[in-house]
Amino acid sequence: MKAQLILEWKKQPWLLHLFWFIVLLAVIGSAMVRAETVRTRGVSYTGATADTIYAKPTTASERHYQTILYQHGVANNVAYDKQLKRPTSPATRTAKKILRQFQQRDYLSFNRSILAIIQDDPEQAINDSIADPPFDSPDQAVTQLTYMVKHQCNRMLQLDAMTAVINNAASAFGINGFKSNQNVTTLNTLILAMAMTLFCFVFYKDRREETDTFMQLAPLTRFRQALIRGGITLGLINASLLAASGIGVIILTLIPGHEFGTLLFPTAYTLFGKPVILPLWQAFLQLWLLYNLWFLIIAGLALCLSLVSRNQLVGIFVIAGVMFADKLKLLMLVPLNVQRLLPNGYLNATDVIRHPRDFQLIPFTHSLTVLLVWAAVLIIAAWTLMRLQTSGVAGRFRREAPGAHSH
């Protein structure tokens, strides 16, 4: 076993691994940095308090932006009280309390106050910009703020969503819940292309160099050799992906003007018509699981194809056709109810995790099960092909052996 591990380690395409690591680092790093340095937003006021303010993507600038929002809220309430010639109203006292809690950075009390306002009058809260992004709806706002209060998180969701390091890192993969990388589809495609080329290279190597018959003399079965080869490749792919992401996060932390944030940050999505909380740590975990299930599917396909063809390019093109059948409009030939049972429909990790549009009726466990079943089917198919080929070769050797005869 140890000798086989060393052999498979040495047979890895190290230059190809290095190439894909550099590509991932450039794409992931640039997406993260862009989220942390380029994004801006603004708001304009008219009337007596006419003003236009912009928020740069830094914590201090976002705090200033939010301060202006709440100061305008207080000013509007005070002006309305004067217009009606009435004493300070409860709404004005509440607005002043929220501004004071925000300025004191008492975000836990701030979240409780905002939660009470939204629960009391959801639509007015939205109109007054009290439920600012990342809140998509009053129901989601209540769910997210309830989570923050329950976990005693002294964080302001709006600040973290727009400026925190960990949120900007998540936006590169499209799982932040508010601002996301517009090129996340390109990133997903590159990651899957990396898996295609690497698994095809390692599984086709012996066939391409015509050393596959020699490898059958090894003490381990062909299937166990394939498992070791695929396992090492899978580990190196994960190492490249995690290293590129980790370096990207380190770069973000070195950019001044940003807090790190928290992995407890509650992103939210709608499933079966109800808001559901997904903490960032869980979103990252789901993303990693999805990628690895796709890696296993690609590995199974590459192994199966390498058993029937010596041409690596054929394997890559066949796998690409299978993986991107939806983009190639090939899935239009398949009934919709059957498409839900094919892995191609779960290629967009952001949709699977964030549940937009049609995915509002598809829980993550369903997507996970479909991909897991297909990965198992392909690996079992490869094992079966190997058994059939091995038994065929053994039979041929027995027939051709000196002194062999039939009865």
Give per-residue pLDDT as tens, 8-29: 788 899 999 999 999 999 999 9
DSSP β-ladder status, 51-55 and 266-271: unpaired
Residue 165 is assigned to a structural domain of this protein: no
Residue 394 is assigned to a structural domain of this protein: yes
pLDDT in tens, 128-155: 545 455 566 778 888 889 999 999 999 9
| CB atoms closer than 10 angstroms to residue 360 | 15
Tokens of 95: 């607005």
In a shared domain, residues 63 and 28: no
Residue 264 is assigned to a structural domain of this protein: yes
Residues with pLDDT less than 50, the chain: 48, 129, 131, 394-395, 397-407
Tokens of 162: 């727009």
In a shared domain, residues 254 and 233: yes
Residue 162 is assigned to a structural domain of this protein: no
Tokens of 374: 């297909």
Residue 78 is assigned to a structural domain of this protein: yes
In a shared domain, residues 97 and 201: no
In a shared domain, residues 291 and 387: yes
In a shared domain, residues 112 and 193: no
In a shared domain, residues 6 and 61: no
What Å distances lie between residue 280 and 18, 81, 136, 154, 373, CA to CA?
A: 29, 42, 17, 16, 26
What Å distances lie between residue 244 and 21, 237, 240, 275, CA to CA?
A: 7, 11, 6, 32
In a shared domain, residues 344 and 237: yes
In a shared domain, residues 25 and 50: no
Predicted confidence at residue 163, as pLDDT, reads: 87
Residue 325 is assigned to a structural domain of this protein: yes
In a shared domain, residues 114 and 205: no
Domain boundary among 100, 123, 155: 155
Q: Considering only CA atoms, which of 67, 55, 146, 145 is closest in space to residue 99?
A: 67
How far is 401 from 138, CA to CA, in rounded Å? Answer: 79
In a shared domain, residues 253 and 212: yes
If one counts the domains in the chain, the total is 2
Q: Which helix (H) or strand (E) segment is 320 a member of?
A: helix 312-323
How far is 164 from 264, CA to CA, in rounded Å? Answer: 12
What Å distances lie between residue 220 and 57, 154, 224, 306, 314, CA to CA?
A: 56, 56, 6, 19, 28
Burial class (CB within 10 angstroms; exposed 0-12, middle 13-18, buried 19+) of 381: middle
Phi, psi of 355 (to 5 degrees): 60, 50
Q: Considering only CA atoms, which of 31, 26, 20, 6 is closest in space to residue 236?
A: 20
Q: Which domain holds residue 78?
A: 42-155
Helix 14-37 to helix 222-254 angle (10° resolution) is 30
Residue 161 is assigned to a structural domain of this protein: no
In a shared domain, residues 200 and 274: yes
In a shared domain, residues 234 and 329: yes
Predicted confidence at residue 393, as pLDDT, reads: 52
Predicted confidence at residue 107, as pLDDT, reads: 92
Going by the DSSP 8-state scheme, the letter that residue 38 receives in this structure is: T
Residue 327 is assigned to a structural domain of this protein: yes
Predicted confidence at residue 100, as pLDDT, reads: 92
